[in-house]
Structure 1
Amino acid sequence: MSTSFQVTFDAADPLALGEFWCAALGYVRDAPPQGFASWEEALTAWEVPRELWNSKNAVSDPDGSGPRIFIQQVPEPKTVKNRVHLDLNVSAGRTGGERLEVLRAEAARLEAIGARTVEERSELGDTWIVMQDPEGNEFCLQ
């Protein structure tokens, strides 16, 4: 049996966090419901108060192979380390200095769109970079 899943993030600003993950992963924002040209049109038609328009967001892999990311607004800020995090495999098939160069280049690209590098780690011959998205959620580059 195969079970599909999505990854859910709590956030202060779901739209902005969704933009970051779209840029980081090559994802796109979920399309508005059929019959609506935009989310704004749909939310207006459904009479959703404007202050709730940024309460939820979802982004997906345009190829359909990666999991959907759902982002929900919460009132409290992130205060502790994530117990679950994403690992972004950006250096598949590379080793040594070439692998490290790819990891560092991707870290720089993600920093330019709002991420923060926490540390570079090596263990048992493997190296990865621990990062945080704009809201402080940890993820790793491998």
Structure 2
Amino acid sequence: MAKELQVVVDCRDPGAQAAFWAEVLGYALEDAGTGDVEGDWASIVAPDGPRVLFQRVPELKYGKNRVHLDVRAGGPRGTPKAVRVPLVDAEVVRLVALGATHMRTTDERDDYFGVLRDPEGNEFCVC
């Protein structure tokens, strides 16, 4: 039997991180009756995706993520690279306007993706 997945992100400002990622993913901030957006945690939800919980921790992020998220903006797997490139580029521009930092874009023979950081420095890819 499949298990429900919840992604948990340690952070300094759960409310700000939840608001940023809700915009990135098109998720909704969870109902105020079940979330504590101003306190130690906040969460975002979507009908067809995992719940993402942001929990306050005292320490800063150090080093590279051991796990990162891929935001698939270039269409489903198998979409031709020529179609994916402008979609990925447009999403990178949108996310930078929301507060992400664009680190680099990788353009390989069969792959194209942007590497970004969220407002607290967590790496993620737009592919």
Aligned residues: 125
C-alpha displacement of 1:97:
3.4
CA distance in 2, matches of 1:97, 1:124: 11
The residue that corresponds to 2:12 in the other structure is 12
Match of 1:15, SS? helix
Match of 1:110, SS? helix
Runs of 4+ residues deviating >3 angstroms: none
The residue that corresponds to 2:64 in the other structure is 81
CA distance in 1, matches of 2:106, 2:16: 28
| TM-score, normalised with respect to structure 1 | 0.81
Greater radius of gyration (CA): 1
- Structure 2 unaligned runs (5+)? none
5 Å matches for 1:1-142?
Answer: 1-33=1-33, 53-61=38-46, 64-93=47-76, 94-142=79-127
| TM-score, normalised with respect to structure 2 | 0.89
CA distance in 2, matches of 1:4, 1:39: 22
Match of 2:106, SS? strand
CA distance in 1, matches of 2:51, 2:36: 18
Match of 2:119, SS? coil
C-alpha displacement of 1:123:
3.7
- Structure 1 unaligned runs (5+)? 41-52
